[in-house]
């Protein structure tokens, strides 16, 4: 398969979970991949995938880190066609237990991190007249779910940011879309009690949590030229949970 042949992608938060699945699929589809994360284990993931895949340690809330990631990507691969803003933090608490520091940290990583990423790749994508940005939001940004106040607020924000960016970047040839996963089996949901996860799974019409690879397929489609007329879209992938 070569849906992404010749393309260069930056995928954040790719040391595990969905980001890692995206990095593996993108590489299999012919892309050169820069996978980034705050966790060093991304190095081993990049080595395991092999080929034109490199790991860069990267805190998405740092503007200086973004400048370095873009510079190294351009130096190594000469272009940037795809950005997947996948990294996120998740410390689920109701509002009355949410500290200002936690609220600000969620916004720094999940919302500002995505903005900094879009700003950082704009110039090279504009120069190429072509680009695809995929922001990983959540069904937590489509419903009023109690108990994850700061996280949910960032995902509502990311949806708005995606729409505004799609409107602003469209004439530069840059498409910006959002994917909104439901319950996906990664380290993120391992933070919940096993019985809570089992209960949630029963609420999903297709009767199970999703797998990272199922989200990666959607992201790869949006990144590819097959999605050339999709801009500002929000794709929900939740097994029907929010029907």
Interface residue list for ligand NAD (CB under 6 A):
12-13, 15-19, 37-39, 58-61, 86-90, 109, 136, 138, 181, 183-184, 186-189
The helix (run of H) or strand (run of E) holding residue 179 is strand 174-181
Nearer to ligand NAD, 60 or 118 (CB): 60
3-state secondary structure of 169: helix
Strand partners, 131: 174
Nearer to ligand NAD, 126 or 185 (CB): 185
DSSP, residue by residue, 14-75: -SSHHHHHHHHHHHHTT-EEEEEESSTTHHHHHHHH-SSEEEEE--TT-HHHHHHHHHHHHH
- Closest contact distance (angstroms) between CB of 171 and ligand NAD is 28
Active site residue 90: no
Nearer to ligand NAD, 171 or 194 (CB): 194
Nearer to ligand NAD, 87 or 157 (CB): 87
Nearer to ligand NAD, 18 or 132 (CB): 18
- Closest contact distance (angstroms) between CB of 217 and ligand NAD is 14
- Closest contact distance (angstroms) between CB of 92 and ligand NAD is 11
- Closest contact distance (angstroms) between CB of 50 and ligand NAD is 20
3-state secondary structure of 109: helix
For residue 135, how far is the Cα from the chain centroid?
A: 5
d(CA 59, CA 161): 20
3-state secondary structure of 108: helix
**Residues with Cβ within 8 Å of residue 153, at least 6 apart in sequence:** 103, 106, 107
Residue nearest to ligand NAD (CB): 17
- Closest contact distance (angstroms) between CB of 136 and ligand NAD is 4
From the candidates 151, 174, 209, 210, which is the catalytic residue?
Answer: 151
The helix (run of H) or strand (run of E) holding residue 189 is none
Could you give the residue numbers annotated as active site?
151
């Amino acid at each position: 398969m070569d849906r992404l042949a010749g393309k260069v992608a930056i995928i954040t938060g790719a040391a595990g979970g969905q980001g890692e699945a995206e990095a593996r699929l993108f590489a299999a589809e012919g892309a050169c991949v820069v996978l980034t994360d705050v966790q060093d284990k991304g190095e081993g993931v990049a080595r395991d995938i092999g080929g034109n895949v490199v790991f860069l340690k990267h805190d998405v809330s740092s503007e200086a880190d973004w400048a370095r990631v873009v510079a190294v990507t351009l130096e190594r691969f000469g272009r940037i066609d795809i950005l997947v803003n996948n990294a996120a933090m998740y410390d689920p608490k109701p509002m009355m237990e949410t500290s200002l520091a936690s609220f600000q940290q969620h916004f720094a990583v999940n919302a500002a991190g995505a903005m900094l990423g879009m700003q950082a790749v704009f110039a090279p994508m504009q120069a190429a007249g072509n680009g695809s940005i995929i922001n990983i939001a959540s069904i937590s940004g489509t419903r009023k779910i109690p108990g994850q106040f700061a996280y949910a607020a960032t995902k509502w924000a990311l949806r708005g940011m995606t729409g505004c960016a799609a409107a602003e970047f469209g004439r530069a040839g840059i498409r910006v879309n959002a994917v909104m996963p439901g319950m996906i089996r990664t380290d993120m949901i391992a933070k919940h009690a096993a019985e809570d996860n089992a209960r949630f799974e029963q609420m999903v019409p297709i009767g199970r949590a999703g797998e990272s690879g199922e989200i990666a397929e959607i992201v790869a489609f949006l990144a590819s030229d097959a999605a050339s007329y999709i801009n500002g879209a929000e794709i929900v992938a939740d097994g029907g949970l929010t029907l």
